[in-house]
């Protein structure tokens, strides 16, 4: 799913992303949540729903033998918490493809439903960020300090 967000993000999408972040439990340092979306009427969107891809933004390692490498923490997700955000859920699946087609694909939670009883959504929560996502934080592995890149 190669989607790029328009400039102005609707407030309800930002609220949804914030709610999703509270349902994630990191297995290590967790960066910020990134997301991309397409509105239902976008030419590249054939779903007739808001198409939303959510992922962890990578962070960069500084110092040590992996200096300059990028990392993304593993995480677990409270699926029950995620479901509680939606008034109606038509589909909930865990998908693990054997091959990736572009930057926004890979292991994912895939949900199709209604958010706030009005917004039709197809939500993808990816285990990995898109290939073109750049780190926004730097972790100094010698001091364990985090800074903005």
Model pLDDT for residues 69-97, shown as the tens digit of each residue: 998 888 899 999 999 999 999 999 998 88
The Cα–Cα gap between 71 and 80 comes to: 27
The Cα–Cα gap between 43 and 6 comes to: 12
Task: Confirm whether 3 is domain-assigned.
Answer: no
What are the helix (H) ranges across the chain? Answer: 11-21, 79-84
**What is the pTM assigned to this prediction?**
0.86
Task: Confirm whether 1 is domain-assigned.
Answer: no
* Cβ pair 122, 112 in contact under 8 A: yes
Helix, coil or strand: residue 72: coil
Name beta bridge partners: 70.
60
Task: Confirm whether 5 is domain-assigned.
Answer: no
pLDDT of residue 100: 63
Calculate mean pLDDT across residues 106-130.
93
Task: Confirm whether 2 is domain-assigned.
Answer: no
Question: Taking Cα atoms as reference points, which of 60, 69, 57 lies closest to residue 31?
Answer: 57
- Quote the number of domains for the chain: 1
Mean pLDDT value across the chain: 88
């Amino acid at each position: 799913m190669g989607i790029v967000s328009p400039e102005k993000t609707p407030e309800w999408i930002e609220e949804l992303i914030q709610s999703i972040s509270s349902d994630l439990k990191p297995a290590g340092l967790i960066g910020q949540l990134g997301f991309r979306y397409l509105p239902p009427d976008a030419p590249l969107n054939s779903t007739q729903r808001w198409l939303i891809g959510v992922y962890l933004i990578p962070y960069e390692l500084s110092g040590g033998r992996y200096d300059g490498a990028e990392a993304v923490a593993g995480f677990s997700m409270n699926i029950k918490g995620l479901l509680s955000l939606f008034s109606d859920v038509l589909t909930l699946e865990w998908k693990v493809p054997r091959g990736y087609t572009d930057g926004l694909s890979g292991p994912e939670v895939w949900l199709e439903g209604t958010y706030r009883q009005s917004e039709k959504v197809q939500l993808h929560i990816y285990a990995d960020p898109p290939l073109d996502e750049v780190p926004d934080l730097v972790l100094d592995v010698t001091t364990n300090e985090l800074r903005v890149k």
